[in-house]
Amino acid sequence: MKSILAPPYKILIAKHTGMCFGVRQAIEATETVLKKNSATILGQLAHNPTVKSRLAAKGARTAPLEKSQAPTKQVIITAHGAADRDRKRWADAGYQVTDTTCPLVKVAHAKLAKVVAEGFQPVIIGKEGHVEVRGLQGDFPKARVILHPDDIATIPHVKRLGIISQTTQPIDRVRALVNEVRKQRPEVEVVYFDTVCSPTKDRQTALHELCHAAELVFAIGGKNSNNTAQLARTARKLGCKAYHIEAPNDIKLEWLDGIRKIGVTAGTSTLDESLEAVVLHLQALAKAQKPFAKQLSKAS
């Protein structure tokens, strides 16, 4: 954990934070394509408005993955992945398909295919409607998606269940749900493959350490970034005030009142420069708020 002194408070940066290798690879691959050809991203490459704007400035267009028409002949599958049938539909329609699916998302697809091939009823722990979950479920429509204990009732009563997870789910939630399935269906054979990705686990572990030291946590990332939202929710469960922000201007001065230690973390689709901008903004606010600094000095 990195510590930056910015009186009247200290800024603590999580040990593991920010953009993961899968998203970095997807951005690099997309930029390489854009240097040679115009291209259309099928959805959002990463759930980050800065990334979207940067790629648009380089000529990237966008189209829905679910369609089969794009303004360019080159199309790009995003880091969140897609169903094989979607890739085939675009290829059959005559488009050149570049696949930037994160390698760890591909592992989740492989494990789901494995449980289906072995005769298990497939179950996905994840957020219904999330692009990664739609991709996982796309080739296996009979897969049931659950996120809460009450959702277990929607799983068919069969003899064998095979469970995998959306890669960005908190591992504690996933394990608790698997245990709950086994508790509610003791007569059922349950196999579980841990497909929560290591970057997500690292950021969740680092968040626990951060919350032990900080009073307030900022989780930086796109508003539609599931893993960033999870970081903010987990921080609150751990007893910290926490806010999910996209940019420095989202920070309200009253949030900092009386705070001496501020924790900063970021989702797996958040650029390093976005995190740096928030830290610099917090440092600038500290310098600008002299009355606030004096007040805290007296309190200490």
- CA–CA distance, 162 with 115 (Å, rounded to integer): 5
Alpha carbons within 13 angstroms on the beta-carbon side of residue 296 total 17
- Tell me if 167 sits within 8 A of 197, measured CB to CB: yes
φ and ψ at residue 11, rounded to 5 degrees: -105, 125
Smallest CA-to-CA distance from 214 within 146, 151, 285, 263 is with 263
Cβ-based neighbours of 27, under 8 Å, separated by 6 or more: 45, 46, 51, 55
Q: What would the 3-class secondary structure string for 6-34 be?
A: ECCEEEEECCCCCCCHHHHHHHHHHHHHH
Catalytic residue from among 132, 189, 254, 273: 132
> Is 132 part of the annotated catalytic residue set?
yes
Residues with a catalytic annotation lie at 132
